[in-house]
């Protein structure tokens, strides 16, 4: 078991490069959303250095767009913090699911990897772990691909204006959702996983219809996570 654990949490240059290459195709679509953010941030009055700093340091598209909605002469800091936390609360559960492998790394490397964790590279890394393969290379290398393409897209939008002012008009908003759905369909298949995803989806939809904006992300993630926690996998 110890040997298997060491192999699963392996992280080296080759695995990171392989992860980068695997996520590069989906990362191309991230450029369009980065460009849309760069344009929107420019229109909101942010300076180019501030725009690039936000995409480089925050790297969370939904949160960055939400921040723009609250931006103004008087930025409501507390509201901004709560909004960003709510949108990104799912990262708490991502970290929890990855803990068995991340815990084997030194703290600096562990948190360095999680700095660029997002939905796509988390899903692919978890799928690799489910197959009994090392997944941290996908998490970190794939994250580097998504992060770098996001920054590039932001620069394009901030520098050249209306390149992709409305990605939804091209159907690009569906790309990441379809990708994540493919990860779910291609992942582990049993009654436990079916119930977890069904509960998460159902609670998320109810929250989307009846609770404040963006709360469905937190509700769905917590509901699915709780089911997974109490319905322990059988050995």
Residues 183 and 193 in one domain: no
Question: What pLDDT score does 154 carry?
Answer: 92
Higher pLDDT pick, 145 / 213 = 145
Question: What pLDDT score does 214 carry?
Answer: 62
Question: Rounded to an integer, what distance in angstroms lies between the CA atom of residue 33 and that of residue 154?
Answer: 8
Residue percentage of the chain with pLDDT more than 70: 80
Three-class SS state of 167? helix
Residue 94 pLDDT grade (very low, low, confident, very high; cuts 50, 70, 90): confident
Residues 173 and 211 in one domain: no
Residues 17 and 121 in one domain: yes
Q: How many domains does the chain have?
A: 2
Residues 103 and 132 in one domain: yes
Is residue 133 predicted with pLDDT exceeding 50?
yes
Residues 173 and 229 in one domain: no
Tokens of 158: 């901030």
Q: For residue range 63-88, what is the model confidence (pLDDT) as tens digits?
A: 888 888 778 777 778 878 887 887 78
Q: For residue range 46-57, what is the model confidence (pLDDT) as tens digits?
A: 899 999 999 999
Boundaries of domain holding 18: 2-187
């Amino acid at each position: 078991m110890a040997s298997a654990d060491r192999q699963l949490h392996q992280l080296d240059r080759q695995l990171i490069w392989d992860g980068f290459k695997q996520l590069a195709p989906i990362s191309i679509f991230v450029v369009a959303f980065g460009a849309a953010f760069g344009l929107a941030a420019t229109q909101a009055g942010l300076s180019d250095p501030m725009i690039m700093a936000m995409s480089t340091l925050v790297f969370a598209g939904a949160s960055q767009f939400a921040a723009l909605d609250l931006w103004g002469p008087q930025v409501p800091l507390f509201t901004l913090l709560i909004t960003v936390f709510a949108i990104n609360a799912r990262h708490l559960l991502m970290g929890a699911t990855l803990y068995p492998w991340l815990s084997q790394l030194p703290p600096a490397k562990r948190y360095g990897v999680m700095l660029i964790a997002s939905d796509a590279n988390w899903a692919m890394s978890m799928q690799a772990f489910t197959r009994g393969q090392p997944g941290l290379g996908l998490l970190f290398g794939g994250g580097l691909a998504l992060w770098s393409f996001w920054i590039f897209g932001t620069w394009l939008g901030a520098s050249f204006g209306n390149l992709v002012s409305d990605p939804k008009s091209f159907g690009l908003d569906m790309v990441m959702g379809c990708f994540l759905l493919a990860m779910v369909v291609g992942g582990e298949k049993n009654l436990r996983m079916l119930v977890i995803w069904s509960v998460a989806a159902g609670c998320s939809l109810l929250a989307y219809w009846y609770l404040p904006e963006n709360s469905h992300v937190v509700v769905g993630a917590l509901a699915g996570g709780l089911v997974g926690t109490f319905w322990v996998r059988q050995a």
